[in-house]
Structure 1
Amino acid sequence: MIEWSYAINQWKPSFDDFTRRRDHERALRVISISGFTGVELTTGTGRWEPLGNPEQLAANFGSVRGFADFVRDAALDRVSSWFYDPLLGFREDLSAPADPADPDAHASVRAHATWFASALADLGGQVLVVRPTASAWQRPQLDDGAIGTIAKCWNDVGRAIAPLGVRLALHFDFLSALRPDDGLERLIAATDTETVGFSVDTGEFVAAGLDPVAFIDRHPHRVAHVQLKNAAAVDDRDEYTRRNAEHHVRKGGGARPVPRWFLELGVAPGLVDAEAVVRALVAHEYDGWVTVESDLSPHPPTSAMLNGWYLQHVLQSIVEEAR
C-alpha cells in the first residue's frame, strides 16, 4: 500500500529560520490539511535545528516520543522517514563530516545512522533515507574501488538498522558523484539486495537526465522509498561538476540561470510525469512511503497545498483504481 508523506525541508531556507514550535505546528497542520498522513524530517545540527536530530528533538519536545505526540496532535499519523546526510558533522558529539568513500569514516557513519534509525523507530517511521556519497565536484572520480568502499559502508549500515525495523534507502541527487560513469547502477550492483534499498527522487533523476519510471521498472525490488517532486530543467551543461555546485547551481541556478530547479506536481513547464511514476509503482505493487517534496520553494505552505490538491484529485485515484 502506498502511504503519502511530505518533506519538511522546504520550510527552512536558512539556518536561523523555522526554529520556533509555533512554526513547526503550523507547518505540520498545513501538511495534514493538504491530505498527507506523514512527515519526513531532514538532518540538522545545533540549536537552530530543533527537528534536525534525536538529541534536539529530546531537548525541544521532552523526548523523541514527545515529538511523536506533537506530530499526532497536528493530525498526522507519524514521521515517515528521516533524511540523513553523513557529510554533515554534528555539534552534539563534536563529530566531523564522514565520507562513505573513506574507510576510516565508516564507524562514524554507522553510529550516526543507527542513532537516527533508533529514533525513527520510536517515531513510527520505516525508512532512513541517506545521501550515499559526496557531490561530483568533491569526488570527480569514483573508480570500482571507491564504489566498493561506499557499498561496504552502506551494506554495514543496512545490516545494523534492519533489526530496528527501519529500511535503508540510498538517495541519488543531480549533483552526486554517482552521476558520471554510470555510478548509480554500479552502486546498485555492489550493494546488498536484502538490506540496501534506493530512494527514487523524481525531480533529481530528471534534472540529471535520468528517467525515474525506467529506473522503477528496472529495479522494482530495490525501490524502498520515493521522493515525488517536479523538475523545471535538466542540467544538460554538466554544471553539477562546478565547484560549490550546491550554492552556485542548485541554489543560484547555474549559468542560465534556472529560477527554480523544482516545481509543484502538475505545474507547467514541469518535466516529471508524476502520474506515470505512480502507475509504475502500482504496477510493481510498491508498498511504502511516497514523500512529496518541493524543496527551495519560495512559499512552502502554498506549495504543500498545491501538491496536496494534485495528490487528492489526480494521484490518489490512480492508486484507488488499482485496488
Structure 2
Amino acid sequence: MTAPERAIKWSYMDHWRSNGPSGPVDQWHSRKTMSAFLKQVKAVGFDAIDTFDFRIWQMYGDYGGPAKYQEMVQDHGLERIVNTFHAADYDVRNYAPHVPETHEAVFEDFRVTMGRWSEIRLDNIIVMPATLFYDMEPITEDKLKYSAECWNKVGEITAGFGVKLTCHHEFFCGIQSEPDIETFYSYTDPRYVNLFVDTAQHCIAGLDPVALYDRHAHRVSGFHFKDTRHVATGDDHRHRPDSEIMAPTTGKWFYEMGTDQGLVDFEAMMRAVRDNGYRGWISVEHDKANKEGGDYSESTAISRWYAKNVLEEIYR
C-alpha cells in the first residue's frame, strides 16, 4: 500500500552557513558543502528546498543547470526545488514597480528569468512587490496602483510557464503596512498575483499574520514560517542599505519556530491553515540565524521538531 498524500509538506529555504576553518562557509562553496547541507536538511525531516533566483548562476557553473542541480537534491532524498525567491536589485531609475516607465524592464527580466528556470517545475516565484520603503515614500494610492499593474503583467508572464507569481512583504519594503497591503491587493488580479505570508516579517511590521492570512487565504500560495522577538519602531524600516542589518534598535530580527519570547502565534496560524483548507508546501526560513551566536543547523533541527511535534498535531 502507498501512504496517503500528506496535506502539508515542509520545504527549507536555503539560507545557511556552517563554520569552516576561516569562518562561515556558504553551502554553495563546493559539492562537499552542498552535500553536507542537503544531508542535514533531509535528516531532520524536510521534504524539499526553496532557493534564491541568483543561485541559478552557480547551478549552471557548478552543476550544469537547474535540472542537474535538482538531480543532486533528489539524490539526497529530497523531492525537488519548490519555490525560488527573485531578489531583484530595485532602482527607481530603471527597475521599480511604482514607476511605470520602468515596467518594460521588469517584464523583460521575468521573460528571461522564467526561461532559465523552465527546465524544472516550480510552484512559485516569490517577489518583494515594492522597492525599499525609503525609495517609494510617500506611499500613495497611485504608486500602489502602478505597482499592482506591474505585477499583474508579471503574473501573466509567469503563468505562461506554469509558475505562480507571489508577493512577500518585508517590513522594510514600500508595501508593508496593513492599509497599503489591502489597497495593493484590491488592484491586483487574483488570477495572476498571489500572497506569500512571511510570519516574522508581518509581525515586525506590526501586522497580525494570522488575521492577514485569514483575509486573503483564497490567494495565499505559500508561507515562510519563522519567528521574531521584535516589532520595528521609529525609522527601523528606513535604513540603507538593509534595515535587517542596519537598524540600530535590533541586532537580530529572526528566530526559529519555538523560540522563547517569540511573537508569532504559530499554533493559531496552523489552525488557520487547517481551517482554510490549505494543502501543499510550507517553507521554513532562517534568515541570518547565525547572528548573536546562533547556529543554522541548530535552528533548523529545533524548527523541524516544532513542526512535527506541535504543528502537525494541529493539522491532522
| TM band (smaller chain) | 0.7 to 0.9
Q: Equivalent residues in 2 for 1:148-159 (5 A)?
A: 148-159=145-156
Whether 1:23 and 2:33 are equivalent positions in the alignment is yes
The answer as to whether partners of 1:10 and 1:300 remain within 8 angstroms in 2 is yes
Q: Equivalent residues in 2 for 1:74-93 (5 A)?
A: 74-87=76-89
The answer as to whether partners of 1:199 and 1:225 remain within 8 angstroms in 2 is yes
* Residue 218 (structure 1) aligned to one of 215, 219, 240: 215
Hey, what does 2:300 align to over in structure 1?
A: 304
Distance in 2 between the 1:303 and 1:229 partners? 10
Q: Equivalent residues in 2 for 1:1-323 (5 A)?
A: 1-11=7-17, 17-18=26-27, 19-44=29-54, 52-53=55-56, 55-87=57-89, 98-180=95-177, 182-241=179-238, 243-244=239-240, 246=242, 249-252=243-246, 254-256=247-249, 258-298=250-290, 299-320=295-316
Distance in 2 between the 1:122 and 1:237 partners? 45
Structure 1 residue 98 displacement after superposition: 2.1
Other structure's SS at 2:10 match: strand
1:98 aligned partner, one-letter code: Y
TM-score (norm 1): 0.86
Distance in 1 between the 2:42 and 2:115 partners? 25
The answer as to whether partners of 1:209 and 1:236 remain within 8 angstroms in 2 is no
Distance in 1 between the 2:235 and 2:33 partners? 37
Distance in 2 between the 1:32 and 1:207 partners? 30
The answer as to whether partners of 1:86 and 1:109 remain within 8 angstroms in 2 is no
The change in CA–CA distance for 1:12 and 1:83 in structure 2 (over 3 A counts) is: farther
Aligned length: 301
Distance in 1 between the 2:192 and 2:35 partners? 34
Structure 1 residue 230 displacement after superposition: 0.5
1:4 aligned partner, one-letter code: W
Distance in 2 between the 1:161 and 1:187 partners? 19
Other structure's SS at 1:122 match: coil
Other structure's SS at 1:137 match: helix
1:194 aligned partner, one-letter code: R
Of all paired residues, the percent bearing the same amino acid is 27
Other structure's SS at 1:200 match: strand
Q: Which moved more, 1:80-89 or 1:273-282?
A: 80-89
The change in CA–CA distance for 1:116 and 1:74 in structure 2 (over 3 A counts) is: farther
TM-score (norm 2): 0.88
Distance in 2 between the 1:30 and 1:88 partners? 34
Distance in 1 between the 2:34 and 2:67 partners? 16
Structure 1 residue 181 displacement after superposition: 7.6
Distance in 1 between the 2:200 and 2:265 partners? 10
Structure 1 residue 269 displacement after superposition: 1.0
